[in-house]
Every structure is written in structure tokens, then in C-alpha cells.
Amino acid sequence: MSTVRVKDAASQLGLSASTLNKWRTQGRGPRFVKLGRTVCYRLSDLEAWLQDQVRSSTSEYDTG
């Protein structure tokens, strides 16, 4: 199981670390793993979240 820290996860997703941090407190974004005080993201969870973001039209909007 490969994991990356917040900064690297954000970079892979094209987001800022602060966006991922904010989303995490709001229950949004990719699933994460808490290892003690360290937040990590499994690469498989990042890929799954990205796949879930695929849309075929700008009128498609996910409210959750």
C-alpha cells in the first residue's frame, strides 16, 4: 500500500495542500488515512476519487 502526505497528494491532484486540508474538515475530497498525527492519502484512493470526478458536461454538478 503506497501512501503520500498531504503536500504530495495535493500536487498530484493539481490542488493546494490548504484545499485538501479544508476539504478534509468538511468531509469532502479523497479518503485519507490518519497515522498518529500524520495525514496520508493512499494512491489508490486518490485515483478512485479522480475517477469519480469525471463528468461529460459542465451542467453535471455533484452537490455532495
2 DSSP 8-state letter:
-
pLDDT of res. 59: 81
The dihedrals phi and psi of 59, each to the nearest 5 degrees, come to: -80, -10
pLDDT of res. 6: 98
Task: Answer with the residue of higher pLDDT: 33 or 1.
Answer: 33
pLDDT of res. 41: 98
pLDDT of res. 62: 63
pLDDT tens digits for range 10-64: 999 999 999 999 999 999 999 999 999 999 999 999 999 999 999 888 886 665 5
